């Protein structure tokens, strides 16, 4: 393919060098003449392993050249990759000025050519930026509507500086967000020979994934650091701890616990987090990440409470009050905390949970629920249908299998608030459905 790469910085240079190596004809574009001159002399404008050799070879073979002239680069190519910087502004917001400028330049150049052009954003941009800024800038400057001669895609970049060429060749995944499958396939075709999952998705998901990735990486680093800080203070080697931690690929290094949803609870997580952060205070350690977890969990309960009260429906059927399905342990269940909050505000609740039968609850579990909701015996029923019939609003608290059929059982006047993401419920109920964070 003939590809123009806008921005001869870390991402642009590595992409341009690797695409040229893989047989594409590449024009690198940058307003900084010194970078243009370096590339045209077969030299790299950035310090990065293997890039110098790749550029030298690509320029020698006539597969790569650089220019400061956006219009000529667009005219010679049928796809543009935008790799310009998106730095932080002083207030932390994302500076998208360079992306907007480059889209205006590319759009103006597309206007003067009579052939389709595909513009692929590789710069990291927040969800909604394609729709609010990239597409309008391209459309205004080109005079074309997106989806005609002008196509757009988002293709986030996952390389790390210092191992960038290796990462380009071994990506953790390749993600392309596009408005139609043909455009997604054209961009994915650039990476045909690369390993790893290839994922076509919506433009907005593609925009957001990079932020989820980087936030996660920052959480991992800080988590390891805070565990290490505690470990050192109590005379334990944190590397020994985290070596073992990382060998657990079921619960620790795995997709488990990572789907958006409701708060955590149960008899262990809250108790153990409190003990650990209390120990940190005793040791005079600042542990901002670990200390933020209980408050963040409380916010998730408040979020559900506010969404429920916003519906203005006082009669509520609450299905599933244990913190996960398949247990009758109610201790520190966030569903119970939510029920307690609703009862406190005078909501008329009926509760169903297949696993929770008051007569069978014993010990600290029974004491807990009877203390938190003293008249639980009046509102906890064994009859799912009767509980369902009571609610103008139905809340599903956990993903017990018997709740899967609930959406089809609802009356036309009932709404569903879902903390468990019941499959197909959103599609079945449309406007009558709301989920905690989907
Ligand atoms: N550096 C990384 O490791 C990395 C990894 C993944 C994603 N990203 C993202 O990729 C984007 C680029 O990052 P970078 O580190 O390569 O940036 P960079 O600052 O190294 O390079 C940006 C380049 O764009 C050029 N530029 C500015 N305006 C231009 C225009 N109108 N036309 C052509 N070129 C123009 C600049 O002169 C500069 O050379 C950012 O959004 C960044 O968040 C970076």
Q: Which residues are catalytic?
A: 268
The CA 232 to ligand 1 mean position distance, Å, reads 39
According to the model, what pLDDT value does residue 270 have?
96
Residues near 25 by beta carbon (within 8 Å), at least 6 away in sequence: 1, 2, 3, 63, 77
According to the model, what pLDDT value does residue 364 have?
84
Atom in ligand 1 nearest the alpha carbon of residue 102: 31
SS3 6: strand
Judge whether residue 267 has pLDDT over 90: no
Confirm if 289 and 273 have CB atoms less than 8 A apart. Answer: no
The CA 415 to ligand 1 mean position distance, Å, reads 47
Check residues 102 and 326 and name the one with the higher pLDDT. Answer: 102
Atom in ligand 1 nearest the alpha carbon of residue 101: 31
The CA 101 to ligand 1 mean position distance, Å, reads 13
- Fold for 2-201, please state it: Rossmann fold (3.40.50)
According to the model, what pLDDT value does residue 368 have?
85
Rounded to 5 degrees, what are φ and ψ at 214?
A: -70, -35
According to the model, what pLDDT value does residue 29 have?
98
The residue to mutate among 30, 103, 138, having the most atoms of ligand 1 within 8 angstroms of its beta carbon, is 30
**Which residue puts its alpha carbon closest to atom 41 of ligand 1?**
123
Percent of the chain past pLDDT 70, that is, above it, reads 100
CA 136 to chain centre: 25
Judge whether residue 357 has pLDDT over 90: no
According to the model, what pLDDT value does residue 363 have?
86
Residue 280, sorted as left (phi over 0), alpha (psi -120 to 50) or beta, turns out to be alpha
Q: pLDDT by residue (tens digit) across 95-109?
A: 999 999 999 999 999
Mean pLDDT, all residues of the chain: 97
Pocket of ligand 1 (CB under 6 A): 6-12, 29-32, 35, 83-86, 98, 101-102, 105, 123-124, 157, 159-161
Atom in ligand 1 nearest the alpha carbon of residue 70: 32
Q: Which of 252, 204, 203 is nearest to 227 (CA)?
A: 252
Q: pLDDT by residue (tens digit) across 152-186?
A: 999 999 999 999 999 999 999 999 999 999 999 99
According to the model, what pLDDT value does residue 247 have?
98
Nearest-angstrom CA–CA distance, 88 and 228: 30
**Which residue puts its alpha carbon closest to atom 31 of ligand 1?**
102
Q: pLDDT by residue (tens digit) across 20-35?
A: 999 999 999 999 999 9
Residues near 17 by beta carbon (within 8 Å), at least 6 away in sequence: 44, 51, 54, 55, 58, 64, 165
Token readout for 317 is 């059927």
According to the model, what pLDDT value does residue 114 have?
92
Nearest-angstrom CA–CA distance, 287 and 335: 27
The CA 16 to ligand 1 mean position distance, Å, reads 12
Judge whether residue 249 has pLDDT over 90: yes
According to the model, what pLDDT value does residue 354 have?
93
The residue to mutate among 157, 171, 209, having the most atoms of ligand 1 within 8 angstroms of its beta carbon, is 157
According to the model, what pLDDT value does residue 360 have?
85
The CA 313 to ligand 1 mean position distance, Å, reads 51
According to the model, what pLDDT value does residue 25 have?
98
Atom in ligand 1 nearest the alpha carbon of residue 6: 33
Judge whether residue 237 has pLDDT over 90: yes
pLDDT bin (cut points 50, 70, 90) of residue 275 is very high
Q: What is the DSSP letter of 362?
A: -
Ranges of CATH 3.40.50.720 domains, the chain: 2-201, 297-435
Q: pLDDT by residue (tens digit) across 141-150?
A: 999 999 999 9
Atom in ligand 1 nearest the alpha carbon of residue 13: 16
The CA 122 to ligand 1 mean position distance, Å, reads 9
Judge whether residue 358 has pLDDT over 90: no
**Which residue puts its alpha carbon closest to atom 36 of ligand 1?**
7
What CATH number labels 297-435?
3.40.50.720
Q: What is the mean pLDDT of residues 250-267?
A: 96
Q: pLDDT by residue (tens digit) across 193-212?
A: 999 999 999 999 999 999 99
**Which residue puts its alpha carbon closest to atom 43 of ligand 1?**
124
């Amino acid at each position: 393919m003939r590809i123009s790469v806008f921005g001869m910085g870390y991402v642009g240079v590595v992409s341009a060098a690797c695409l040229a190596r893989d047989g594409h004809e590449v024009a690198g574009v940058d307003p900084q003449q010194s970078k243009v001159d370096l590339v045209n002399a077969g030299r790299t404008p950035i310090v990065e392993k293997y890039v110098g050799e790749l550029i030298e070879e690509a320029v020698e073979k006539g597969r790569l050249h650089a220019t400061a002239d956006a219009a000529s680069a667009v005219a010679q190519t049928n796809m543009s990759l935008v790799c310009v910087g998106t730095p932080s502004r002083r207030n932390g917001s994302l500076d998208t000025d360079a992306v907007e400028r480059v889209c205006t330049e590319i759009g103006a150049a597309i206007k003067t050519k009579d052939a389709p052009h595909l513009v692929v954003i590789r710069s990291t941009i927040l969800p909604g930026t394609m729709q609010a800024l990239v597409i309008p800038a391209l459309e205004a400057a080109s005079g074309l509507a997106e989806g005609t001669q002008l196509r757009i895609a988002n293709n986030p970049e996952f390389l790390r500086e210092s191992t960038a060429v290796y990462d380009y060749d071994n990506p953790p995944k390749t993600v392309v967000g596009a408005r139609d499958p043909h455009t997604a396939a054209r961009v994915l075709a650039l990476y045909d020979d690369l390993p790893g999952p290839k994922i076509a998705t919506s433009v907005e998901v593609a925009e957001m994934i990079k932020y989820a990735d980087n936030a996660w990486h920052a959480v991992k680093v800080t988590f390891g650091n805070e565990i290490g800080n505690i470990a050192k203070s109590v005379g334990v080697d944190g590397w020994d701890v985290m070596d073992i931690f990382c060998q657990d690929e079921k619960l620790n290094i795995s997709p488990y616990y990572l789907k958006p949803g409701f708060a955590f609870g149960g008899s262990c997580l809250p108790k153990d987090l409190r003990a650990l952060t209390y120990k940190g205070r005793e040791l005079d350690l600042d542990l901002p990440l670990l200390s933020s977890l209980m408050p963040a969990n409380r916010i998730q309960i408040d979020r559900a409470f506010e969404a429920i009260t916003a519906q203005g429906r006082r009669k509520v059927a609450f299905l599933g009050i244990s913190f996960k399905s398949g247990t009758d342990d109610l201790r520190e269940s966030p569903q119970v905390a939510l029920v307690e909050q609703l009862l406190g505000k005078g909501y008329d609740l009926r509760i169903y949970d297949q696993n929770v039968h008051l007569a069978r609850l014993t010990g600290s579990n029974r004491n807990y629920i009877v203390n938190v909701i003293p008249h639980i015996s009046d509102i906890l029923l064994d009859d799912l249908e009767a509980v369902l019939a009571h609610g103008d609003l139905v809340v599903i608290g956990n993903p017990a299998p018997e709740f899967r059929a609930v959406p089809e059982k609802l009356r036309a006047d009932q709404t569903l608030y879902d903390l468990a993401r019941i499959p197909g419920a959103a599609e079945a109920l449309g406007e009558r459905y709301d989920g905690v964070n989907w």
